[in-house]
Structure 1
Amino acid sequence: MRFGYTLMTEQAGPRELVRHAASAEETGFEFEVMSDHYFPWLDEQGHAPYAWSVLGAVTQVTERVELLTFVTCPTMRYHPAVVAQKAATISLLSGDRFLLGLGAGENLNEHVIGRGWPPVNVRHEMLSEAVEIIGDLFDGEYVNYTGRHYRVDSAKLWDLPERRTPVGVAVSGRQSVERFAPVADAMIATEPKGELCRAWDEERAQVGEDSTRKFGQLPVCWDPDREAAERRAREQFRWFGGGWKVNSELPGPASFAGATQFVTQSDVAGAIPCGPDPEAVVQAARPFADAGFTDLALVQIGGAQQNGFFDFAATELLPELRKAYF
């Protein structure tokens, strides 16, 4: 298993995120993923800069790490033809270190354009068309497209990287796996479900394709004071336990605050490793390894604690994780 670092646009401003990206590479993380939101989940997180501008800057302060969107929704705020152009540009700026992570989106971010929030089956249809359009544009020719949800009129990407930009798609159940496993280069999921990994490989095998990488994500809250870590995790990440099916429907931070008002500090501490013990993180990573995930992005909760976390990761955490799962 490879281990990455999450650039959380919900808990740090753009300049801080660029510094974190450089530090994460120096620390020894092998890849970095970036969320792409218009809102934070909770007011306490306090940030939401434009991910693509930050990614452009990150390409210039890193040299080795792979970069991913985790994930971009190419259906409402962004037209898929524009996402393809952005992805190709980041690939060029990074020297072919970019993987485009896509997902069906959240009401939290997409409602801002005033078009409402479609049901999940429609969102999957939209994402399917978007993946097709992006793939056609990555071929480098003029693209005309007429679908149920999108039109493209004589579009072409004029600046393409030598390596075709790989595409990962976020999945949460069998329906999304069946749609996207045959056409994606990687799987993305937030829960360590072995059935997702197995179904993904089965669907790919049915169309004669090999297995692919599978990216997961694990929140942690490092702090030398375990009690302080638990308080911070509850304050900023109590939304995490709602699950994708619930979280994707909520329209704003006030909704997440209301939905999680009865989540206790002990509830969060039971789900997220908190404090200075690397073994707690090693054990929390085990379900992902057992499920078949090949890559795991860690989320350090708390924008002001990143420097301490990087020291901890370099000297204690990453060596223990690699000893356990390499």
Structure 2
Amino acid sequence: MVRFGYKASAEQFAPAELLRYGVLAEENGFDSVFVSDHLQPWRHDGGHAPAALPWLGALGSATQRVVLGTSVLTPTFRYHPAVVAQAFATLGCLFPGRVVLGIGSGESMNEAPLGIEWPEPKVRFARLKEAIELIRRLWTEERVDFEGAHYRTEKATVYDRPEVPVPLYIAGSGPAATRLAGRRGDGFITTSGKAPSLYTDTLLPAVREGVEQSGRAVGDVDMMIEVKVSFDADASRALQDTRFWGALALKPEEKTGVEDPVEMQRLADALPIERAASRFIVSSDPDEHVAAIKRYLDLGFTHLVFHAPGPDQERFLKAYGTEILPRLRELV
């Protein structure tokens, strides 16, 4: 089954406004709504950072059928993994079969401002693996004694657990995390707009390798990708809308160690608009959007979550729901 979702941009919109867009996504035919869990946004001016956990509860109460999830939350620094396990078990009880926990190893801009010393990637990955083990045990065992290198519990119990298990999706942009998603995850999360070889030569083979190690089939793992799209009848506006998200086009070496939204904004705003738009499918032509999106379907992705950069999300949701989603469903 292929699903099409909406990325609720918590970094761009205030909580109540974002909630309205999540409801509109359901009304306009989207299958899921995913939200990032940021302490700080990518830019200071006009930025927002509502807490994902209470916001997901509000969205669940305001909707009937869309799948709700994080893309992504970091369960290793600001949160103890047991707190994450409890929170998503509660959400799973409230909205059975509609909740996904999407996790990743994190970004310093969300953790370092709280005085957390940001470790090297190897340490972050080790903490993520340990967190996954502890979360799964708390979801399946009654009293959990856990002694890890980073986390410890004594007779810990999550008392309210959903009858329908909460799927756990793991985000990855490199081979190690991606293999982990195939081996331990119910789903894999990545983002669009990068070099095609990254998907064909690195990420997808790593997922398959991890799945084979787990003794499952590739079809057992939901292959999710955030597809960045800027769609508007006015082609110039579609291009200019990407400016807010210019930070996504920064190279790793350009933003490594940048933990202040003011500085991140300065770096992003210095980029020419063509580079700011480079991560997005930018067009006023529905057929061009469908053709570009089809490439990800052809690669084997089964859950496409669309992230639109413009300020008028209502216009985007209605336009995509009317002009793009029906075409995509015809393809699959």
Give the alignment's TM-score, normalised by structure 1: 0.93
> Alignment partner of 1:153: what SS?
strand
Percent of residue pairs identical: 36
Q: CA deviation at 1:243?
A: 5.6
8 A contact 2:143–2:157 mirrored in 1: yes
Shift of residue 252, structure 1, vs aligned partner: 2.3
Who is 1:152 aligned against? 153
3-state DSSP of counterpart to 2:281: coil
**1:99 positional shift:** 1.0
**1:250 corresponds to 2:272:** no
Task: Please tell me whether residue 238 in structure 1 is matched to residue 235 in structure 2.
Answer: no
1:298-325 deviation digits (Å, cap 9, x = unpaired): 01113x311111221122111122233x
Residues 222 and 301, structure 1, Cα contact 8 Å, conserved in 2: no
For 2:287 and 2:46, the matched residues in 1 are separated by: 27
Equivalent in 283, 288, 291 of residue 283 of structure 1: 291
Residue 220 of structure 1 is matched in structure 2 by: 229
- Measured in 1, the distance between the counterparts of 2:5 and 2:268 equals 28
> Counterpart of 1:168 in 2: which secondary structure?
strand
User: Aligned to 1:266, which of 260, 268, 274?
Assistant: 274
Equivalent in the alignment of 1:71: 72
CA distance in 1, matches of 2:252, 2:135: 25
> Structure 2 CA distance, aligned partners of 1:56 and 1:222?
29
Unaligned runs of 5+ in 2: none
Q: Which runs of 5+ in 1 are unaligned?
A: none
Contact 1:85 1:157 in 2 (8 A): yes
Indicate the RMSD between aligned Cα atoms, in angstroms.
1.9
Q: CA deviation at 1:91?
A: 1.1
d(CA) in 2 for partners of 1:223 and 1:172? Answer: 29
What is the count of residue pairs matched by the alignment? 323
Residue equivalent to 1:61: 62
Structure 1 residue aligned with 2:117: 116
Do 1:215 and 1:295's aligned partners in 2 also have CA atoms closer than 8 Å? yes
Deviation at 1:162, TM superposition (A): 0.2
C-alpha distance in structure 2 between counterparts of 1:155 and 1:37, whole Å: 27
3-state SS of 1:274 partner = strand
Aligned to 1:306: 313
* Aligned-partner Cα distance in 2 for 1:23–1:255: 33
In structure 2, what is the Cα distance between the partners aligned to 1:30 and 1:244? 32
Q: CA deviation at 1:261?
A: 4.3
In 2, the alpha carbon distance for the partners of 1:155 and 1:129 equals 16
Deviations 1:141-184 (CA, angstroms, capped at 9, x unpaired): 11121111111222111111001111000011112123342111
Q: Following the alignment from structure 2 to structure 1, what is the Cα–Cα distance between the partners of residues 185 and 105?
A: 14
> Which structure 2 residues correspond to residues 68-107 of structure 1 after superposition, within 5 A?
68-107=69-108
- Alpha carbons of 1:284 and 1:271: their partners in 2 closer, same or farther (altered >3 Å)? farther
* CA displacement at 1:69 relative to structure 2: 0.6
Instruction: Please give the secondary structure, in 2, of the residue aligned with 1:221.
Output: strand
Compared CA separation, residues 45 and 27, structure 1 to 2 (3 A):
same
CA distance in 2, matches of 1:87, 1:244: 31
* AA partner of residue 226 (structure 2): Q
Once the two structures are superposed, residues 253-294 of structure 1 have per-residue CA deviations (whole angstroms, 9 ceiling, x without a partner) of 234234434421122344423353222322332332232211
Q: 308-317 or 82-91: which moved more?
A: 308-317
Judged with a 3 Å threshold, the aligned counterparts in structure 2 of structure 1 residues 244 and 186 are, in CA distance, closer, same or farther, namely: farther
